[in-house]
Amino acid sequence: MKKIITCVIATVVVTIATPALAYADSPVKIGGITDAWVEATAKVSTSTVSIKSKNKTTGTGIVTCHYRFLGIPIPNTCYWTNSFPTIYKQPSLYSAKGSLNSRIYAQSYNNYLGRIQWQVKGSQNFAGDVTSTIIGKAVGKTKGTGYFYAGHDNCPFVTCTEDHAIKKLTVKA
């Protein structure tokens, strides 16, 4: 009987805490002990930060999501976006580790940057940990500056756990 009650109490605690974990920005503490790991990270790198028009830049975006409670993987969805500024011609997708809505960069509004960018977006249902690595290549088109971006810009919820990474790029005449 004691084992059944303990199991029921543990199930109730996990059931009550799980919805909050899906949107927490930091570890959840129960009884002063950190019991959850809910994190989203984004990193970017580019082959160069300044090019002449008609030259190429390669951009790599890495987006990672971790969702765990008491060490147990929690089912969730991770969202990612990879984008180049419109001072570049339409980028081409070099490689993608992670599912994408389309393998073609299209112009759409980036909420984090507040501007139109060439973007590919994707998401994946998972439990525990997932990482997306997207590499694109683009040729400079117009003189100007903009930002290469990787992050969780396409998350459809206001309360998503998210991170964003940018790198300033310049195209010279």
pTM of the predicted model as reported, rounded to 2 decimal places: 0.77
pLDDT score at 92: 97
- Specify the CATH class of 2-172 in words: mainly beta
- Report the chain (173 residues): mean pLDDT per 10 consecutive residues: 42 40 44 64 96 96 92 90 97 95 96 95 93 97 97 75 92 92
What are the boundaries of each domain within the chain? 2-172
pLDDT score at 146: 97
pLDDT score at 159: 66
SS (H, E, C) the chain: CHHHHHHHHHHHHHHHHHHHHCCCCCCCEECCEECEEEEEEEEEEECCCEEECCCEEEEEEEEEEEEEECCEECEEEEEEEEEEECCECCCEEEEEECCCCCCCCEEEEECCCCEEEEEEEEEEEEEEEEEEEEEEEEEECCCEEEEEEEECCCCCCCCCCCCEEEEEEEEEC
